[in-house]
């Protein structure tokens, strides 16, 4: 027994000596300390990646104007920020500096905000997942057109079942993602006349599992967030599948740049069962992280940026909690809205190639 104990002790000593030798070799190869007598890093501290810094003072919300969950944001041509939030007023408009300008109240208790879009002519579209409708408004809030039947879910040409988003093509045609209850895209002309639909529940190419968001570029390509399937699917306006971007992120919402760059917010790819508290909920609830990505029209990733995932009820500035909304203004300022955090935040771009 004594001999065995001595052998074990000898092995431990040898293991420690080996670790010290390896550590010394690594330290010589990859120095982490400054040269003797200096306080400088051995590496050039030059930021080659763009970044974003939160503006904690934005917005300056009046005491009488609250903020609920923020599923969607839009920015108009004057860089005013339109927030569609799950409170009253549901539509809240802020200046670029964060000053509250005006809002639209809602009297429908079953209304649940999901998406806001401003089209080429400046009209405002609201997608209401609770009322099962998509509505077109003037800037002042006057109702011009309703798609779907208010308060009634269905799967025919005149009903949605929890629609999620809308996109407008170059000729004015309308494409609605429908949505949580259905798994299809609905196509209407600019007057709201139904043309066709496509899609079904499933995991095969062309099928959907929570068709969650849509955007249309200048070439009339439709980019669709197929959230539970961890992919973006690309279609033409005839409903023909053009491309599939798989396993890059769990996509929640899009924003399209003037250069046809597709920004997507969401979280990293994940599998079911991440949190046992949500065994049957949508994928990404809760997300394991928070990120935004930029793609070109062919699906090449151009940029990735992550944000700290906040703890429920303890959200700090710059952290996100169920990121759901994304928009940029003309100066590159980034606006993000989340669900559990129930807020919108402004992030100022930090240019690359900045020496420290």
CA distance linking residue 75 with residue 59, whole number of Å: 14
Among 17-21, 176-180, 290-294, 348-352, whose mean pLDDT is lowest? 17-21
The Cα-based distances of 157 to 137, 149, 185 in angstroms read 22, 10, 11
Asked if the model's pLDDT at residue 42 lies above 90, the reply is: no
Residues above pLDDT 70, as percent of the chain? 88
pLDDT at 26 over 90: no
Q: Given this model, what pLDDT does residue 353 score?
A: 74
For range 329-336, the mean pLDDT: 98
Domain ranges, ordered by start, for the chain: 51-355
pLDDT at 15: 57
Q: Can you tell me the mean pLDDT for 54-68?
A: 96
Q: How far is it, in rounded angstroms, from Cα 330 to Cα 69?
A: 25
The C-alpha atoms of residue 156 and residue 197 are separated, in whole angstroms, by: 9
State the CATH architecture for 51-355.
Answer: 6 Propeller (2.120)
Tokens of 319: 């952290």
Mean pLDDT, the chain, rounded, equals: 90
The pLDDT of 255-281, averaged and rounded, is: 90
Q: Tokens 């080659």 belong to which residue?
A: 48
Find out whether 248 and 301 touch, Cβ atoms under 8 Å. yes
Residue 326 above 90 pLDDT? yes
Report the share of the chain in percent with pLDDT over 90.
Answer: 80
Q: How many of the other CB atoms lie within 10 Å of CB of 117?
A: 21
Choose between 325 and 354: higher pLDDT: 325
Instruction: Find the mean pLDDT for residues 175-181.
Output: 96
pTM, full prediction = 0.88
């Amino acid at each position: 027994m004594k001999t065995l104990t001595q052998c074990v002790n000898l092995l431990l000593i040898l293991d420690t000596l080996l670790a010290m030798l390896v550590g010394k070799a690594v330290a010589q190869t990859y120095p982490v300390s400054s040269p003797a007598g200096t306080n400088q890093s051995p590496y050039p501290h030059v930021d080659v990646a763009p970044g974003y810094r939160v503006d904690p003072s934005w917005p300056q919300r009046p005491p009488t104007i609250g903020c609920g969950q923020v599923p969607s944001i839009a920015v108009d041509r004057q860089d005013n920020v339109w927030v569609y939030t799950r409170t009253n007023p549901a539509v809240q408009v802020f200046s670029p500096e964060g000053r509250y300008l005006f809002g639209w109240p809602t009297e429908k208790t079953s209304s649940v905000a999901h998406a806001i879009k401003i089209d080429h002519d400046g009209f405002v579209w609201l997608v209401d997942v609770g009322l099962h409708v998509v509505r077109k408004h003037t800037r002042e809030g006057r109702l011009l057109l309703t798609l779907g039947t208010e308060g009634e879910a269905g799967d025919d040409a005149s009903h949605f079942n929890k629609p999620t988003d809308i996109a407008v093509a170059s000729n004015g045609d309308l494409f609605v993602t429908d949505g949580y209850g259905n798994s299809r895209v609905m196509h209407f002309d600019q007057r709201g006349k139904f043309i066709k639909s496509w899609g079904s529940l499933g995991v095969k190419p062309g099928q959907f599992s929570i068709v969650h968001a849509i955007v249309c570029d200048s070439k009339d390509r439709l980019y669709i967030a197929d959230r539970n399937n961890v992919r973006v699917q690309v279609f033409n306006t005839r409903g023909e599948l053009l491309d599939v971007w798989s396993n890059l992120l769990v996509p929640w919402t899009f924003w399209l740049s003037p250069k046809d760059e597709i920004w997507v917010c969401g979280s990293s790819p994940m599998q079911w069962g991440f949190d046992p508290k949500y065994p049957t909920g949508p994928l990404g609830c809760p997300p394991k992280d928070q990120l935004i990505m930029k793609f070109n029209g062919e699906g090449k990733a151009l940029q990735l940026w992550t944000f700290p995932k906040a703890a429920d009820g303890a959200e700090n500035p710059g952290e996100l909690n169920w990121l759901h909304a994304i928009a940029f203004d003309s100066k590159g300022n980034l606006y993000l809205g989340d669900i559990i955090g129930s807020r919108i935040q402004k992030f100022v771009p930090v240019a690359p190639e900045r020496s420290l």
